[in-house]
Structure 1
Amino acid sequence: MDERIRLRLDVSYDGTDFSGWAVQPNRRTVAGVLVEALDLVLGAGTASGLTVAGRTDAGVHATGQVCHLDLPAAVWREHDGLLLRRLARLLPGDVRVRAMTEVATDFDARFSATFRRYEYRVTDAPWGAEPLRRRDTLAWPKPLDLAALNAAAAGLVGEHDFAAYCRRKENATTVREVTRLDWRRDPDGILVATVQADAFCQNMVRSLVGAMLVAGDGRRPVQWPGSLLSRRERSSEVTVAPAHGLALVEVGYPTDPAGYAGRAEVTRRLRVPVAEG
């Protein structure tokens, strides 16, 4: 069998016109577009095993997505140094591969990850979102209080069962450890939530944001989002925030490549699916 090498791809995309990451029949997806471009450059099926760190849903963006794939070593030697620019010419403008790096064969974009960090952008300006940022910024119809948003966020940090905020999947845990959750208001007035965890279950980040926003505008007490953690099933009171305000901005990995396999083994024991927030 030909020797194969593993590549790490760092990917960015505007999720507006994609039906999410994962390949779906008759739908435009990030993985589908990426595989199509790779097949054109390398030959159909030459790249295999495309695996992503976080399967983002329709409309969700990424500035720091990570995936891996395997190539015959001879093909990589032939295209090394040229492949990135060839992909840039073929890929549509709403998805970019920003880096391609040869990594150890036990690197797993999904299971070797130590954390995923998302940001959610909201404007409470009375005129709404600026036209150039309307694709990645939610316009909120009421004034938002930064202190209230951060007070609501504080009650959600730590390891909890986030069943109230997740779309449950069979045989998958809803226990997650949120290591960072806070809000800031940038100089342009935009409110940005930063949410970091070892992993997220489906719709979790947008559900957390939806709960915090109604605390931030005063319709719910700041203790309310945290109080829902006592529930063991999805809460119908929580509105999932729209997808377009959310972006995956970073995926973390062990600093020592020797830790890839160990981290992957731990992650597989902890949970089955890793999905978009």
Structure 2
Amino acid sequence: MRLRIDLAYDGTEFHGWARQTGQRTVQGELEAGLAKILRLSPEEVQVTVAGRTDAGVHAVGQVCHVDVAEEVLERAIGHMTGVSASEALFRRVSRVVPGDMSIFSLEPAPEGFDARFSASDRVYVYRVADASAQRDPRLARMVLRVDDELDVHAMNEAVSSTVGLHDFGSFALPNPGGTTIREVKYAAWQRVPDMLLTPDGVYGGGAQASATQAVGAAPSSGAGVAYGIRAAESGLLTFTIIADAFARNMVRSLVGASIAVGRGKKTVSWFHEKVAHPQREGLTGPAPACGLTLERVNYPSDALLAQRADAIRAVRTLEE
């Protein structure tokens, strides 16, 4: 039986996704937990992931799959009653994984599903607290701090050139025998608006508007904004990028080059030249891993899962 697993993790203390001897990795911890519950050796459990993340990179929408014989899966039930084997495994593995991982769901996968090859696109977000943002120390492990005030307009002018099919050789490293050609569907920087969380709902607006609301009358039914709490991400800069797949270091290098433009150290035309003429010249390295999160992996309808997987598997085999 193929099982789909949706999970999240704080990547700070992990040496990336992929299993490595002597290193703490997400794959290693997950497979060890599954093996323990199913009474298998770690070598007998192998999960396939939608997208490998580097050391220090986080995920809230990671997806993987694992194939388990039905008679082995039944071992997860133990003394539980009234639950399916997959539900029993979900409950048990949720308890044994470390605290910097969370299992959101574990259930039988639709026919034709492959966590990696069936995916239609991946969504990453990079978060930055520049000089205009209120720096919340609770977010330090998932947000990059930048002392300058960044020019968001210039950064968006720069990354607009990444949308479409391009060779991202100026920003990424290919796998052995692979390519850095990728199709970006969306790429944009934006500042998260100030959002006030209240008993009556969520109210947007600038910091001044929120402050005014907080001392004034509630706009609707009661306690309202007088008890409002500023949302933690208010004021941060976010870079959202969506693509069918990503080459190694691609997102973080695009962020590093964007920040150079936002600081005024590089021009928009310089960035566009890097996209138009791929060459790894080493002038801008990847931004730190801490700000990057895999937010979501999208899949086509169940009826198209196998068709998508077959098409992408053929392409990836040629590349990698």
TM over 0.5: yes
Q: Deviations over 1:3-46 (max 9, x none)?
A: xx100100100000000000000100001001111111111149
Match of 2:223 in 1: none
Which residue among 5, 8, 11 is the counterpart of 1:12?
8
Runs of 4 or more consecutive aligned structure 1 residues displaced over 6 Å after TM superposition = none
Sort the Cα spacing of 1:203 and 1:152 in 2 relative to 1 into closer, same or farther, 3 A: same
**Does 2:49 correspond to 1:52?**
yes
1:188-227 superposed matches below 5 A = 188-227=234-273
Matched, 1:259 2:276: no
| Secondary structure of 2:286 counterpart | coil
Which residue of structure 1 aligns with residue 207 of structure 2? none
- In the alignment, is residue 82 of structure 1 matched against residue 88 of structure 2? yes
Give yes or no for contact 1:126–1:141 (8 Å, CA) kept in 2.
no
Which residue of the partner structure matches residue 281 of structure 2?
A: 235
Query: Could you say which residue in structure 1 is the equivalent of 2:197?
Result: none
2:162 partner SS? coil
3-state SS of 2:170 partner: helix
Deviations 1:85-119 (A, max 9, x none): 21122111101111012113531111111100000
Which one of 250, 271, 276 corresponds to residue 316 of structure 2? Answer: 271
Deviates more, 1:143-152 or 1:177-186: 143-152
Deviation for aligned residue 1:172? 0.6
1:128 and 1:140 in contact (8 A); partners too: no
Q: In the alignment, is the contact (CA less than 8 A) between 1:156 and 1:225 conserved in 2?
A: no
> Aligned in 2, Cα 1:103/1:126: closer, same or farther, shift over 3 Å?
closer
What's the offset of the Cα at 1:156?
1.2
**1:65 has 2:62 as partner:** yes
**Do the aligned partners of 1:165 and 1:235 also contact (CA within 8 Å) in 2?**
no
Query: In 2, Cα distance between the equivalents of 1:272 and 1:163?
Result: 20
Taking every aligned residue pair, what percent have the same amino acid on both sides?
43
Residues 112 and 306, structure 2, Cα contact 8 Å, conserved in 1: yes
Q: Deviation string for 1:163-218 (max 9, x for gaps)? A: 11111222211110000100111122100000110000000000011111111121
Greater CA deviation, 93-102 or 164-173? Answer: 164-173
1:204-237 per-position Cα deviation (integer Å, ceiling 9, x unaligned): 0000111111111211112322211233432312
Distance 1:126 1:117 in 2: 25
Verify the 8 A CA contact 1:16 1:60 in the aligned structure 2. yes
Which segments of 5 or more consecutive residues in structure 2 lack a partner in the other structure? Answer: 78-84, 195-233
Partners of 2:60 and 2:12 lie apart in 1 by 14
> AA paired with 2:309?
A
Greater mean deviation of Cα atoms: 44-53 or 59-68: 44-53
RMSD (Å) for aligned C-alpha atoms: 2.0
Call closer, same or farther: CA 1:274–1:102 in 2, change over 3 Å. Answer: farther
Q: Which residue matches 2:32?
A: 36
Is 1:109 equivalent to 2:115 in the alignment?
yes
Deviation string, structure 1 residues 244-263 (Cα, Å, up to 9, x no partner)? 100000001112x2212211
With normalisation by structure 1, the TM-score equals 0.91
Q: How high is the TM-score relative to the length of structure 2? A: 0.79
Aligned to 1:155: 161
Give the aligned partner of residue 216 of structure 2: none
